Amino acid sequence: MPDTIHLQTPLKDEDLLKLKTGDKIYISGTVYTARDAAHKRLVELLEQGKELPFDVVGSVIYYVGPAPAPPGKPIGSAGPTTSYRMDSYAPALMDAGLKGMIGKGPRDKSVIDSMVKNKAVYFAAIGGAAVVIADSIKEAKVIAYEDLGPEAIREMKVENFPCIVANDTNGNDIYKQGVAKYKQV
């Protein structure tokens, strides 16, 4: 039976090493948003030896391009985007200290290998639950690449952001485990 675990950012190795695929997670603290265009710029900064627009060490990046905030809300609908578009950039960010990624869909083997090497985790957010997810976001502000519109990097303060462990620090993959489990039936 999967555990239910509350995590606080910045994430620490000792917390991540205990996680298993399928664990239900509630994240509180600071989470950053970024999609492929922002990831490309972040990796270019790393390649140039320049500073990133936020401290990546122990950080979590949520792959999302949120809808505009309705009156009285910090953010609009905020459902996860498909993660494979960030696969070519994720290892460089993990090498720089990124510890968590949130999105939907499976990851490439090179990304999973980098998670094992860097003791990082990939969390799956539930597609179709964008309004529920948005309720866990208490503050959101653009901190970089405003020209990217919804894909700008945002710093969000979250309380009990719901997700599950899709890939743990041991390289386990819920997408492969799920298929194997149901092939036995």
pLDDT at 177 over 70: yes
* 4: confidence class by pLDDT, cuts 50, 70, 90: confident
* 159: confidence class by pLDDT, cuts 50, 70, 90: very high
Three-state DSSP at 100 gives: strand
pLDDT tens track for 30-65 = 999 999 999 999 999 999 999 999 999 999 999 998
4-183, CATH topology level: fumarase (3.20.130)
Q: What is the pLDDT of residue 131?
A: 75
Please give the Cα distance from 112 to 65 (Å, whole number).
23
Would you tell me how many other CB atoms lie within 10 Å of the CB of residue 167? 25
* Cis, bond preceding 10 (omega within 30 deg of 0): yes
Give me the residue spans of the domains in the chain: 4-183
Q: What is the pLDDT of residue 133?
A: 86
The encoded tokens of residue 1 equal 């039976």
Q: What is the pLDDT of residue 180?
A: 60
Catalytic residues: 39
Q: Which residue has better confidence, 65 or 119?
A: 119
* 179: confidence class by pLDDT, cuts 50, 70, 90: low
pLDDT tens track for 123-150 = 999 877 777 788 899 999 999 999 999 9
Please give the Cα distance from 116 to 169 (Å, whole number).
5
pLDDT tens track for 88-113 = 999 999 999 999 999 999 999 999 99
Would you tell me how many other CB atoms lie within 10 Å of the CB of residue 15? 16
* 182: confidence class by pLDDT, cuts 50, 70, 90: low
Please give the Cα distance from 55 to 50 (Å, whole number).
12
